[in-house]
Amino acid sequence: SGSGVGEGYGFAIPITLVREVMGELLEHGRVRRPVLGAAVAEVRMRHAEAVGLGRAGIDGIRGAVVAEVAPNSPAAAAGVRAGDVIVSANGQAIERVAELQRALRAADVGAAVDLEYVREGTRARASVRLEEARDNAAEAVARPGITRL
């Protein structure tokens, strides 16, 4: 800029993301995003106690608590419910929501993701077949601390 403000600022896009997007565009003509059909939030002490993470053998406060499950979604079809705490995806421990996001983003549309979750102090497993995200921008209401997957 002529004023010098903003000069020297830049950003970088990881090459792995560029390759992923390029591959989707070349193969499908658009970027497809796999979705679980659930909204999740970070686990807090109250969630950990309510769901019984300690009774299920989970140390500490970790995972992603399911805030809501969309009707007729892959998560609903697999039996995932609001209040469940997802603690692993495809065998990888989930400490925070961002790790669950990465695990889902790494999967293809139509792929099955094996989730382990805790409900009422008991560990359970579900195989969730991800579907392609639909453009529901009008329906998606942003809520602080909630991530739609």
Q: Note down pLDDT in tens along the chain; length 149 residues.
A: 566 666 666 778 888 777 887 887 888 888 778 889 999 999 998 888 888 888 888 888 899 999 999 999 999 999 999 999 999 999 999 999 999 998 998 888 899 999 999 999 999 999 999 998 876 544 454 555 677 76
Residue 148 near residue 140, CB atoms below 8 Å: yes
Q: How many Å apart are CA 96 and CA 44, to the nearest integer?
A: 11
d(C-alpha 117, C-alpha 94), whole Å: 10
Residue that is written with structure tokens 């495809």 in the block: 90
pTM: 0.78
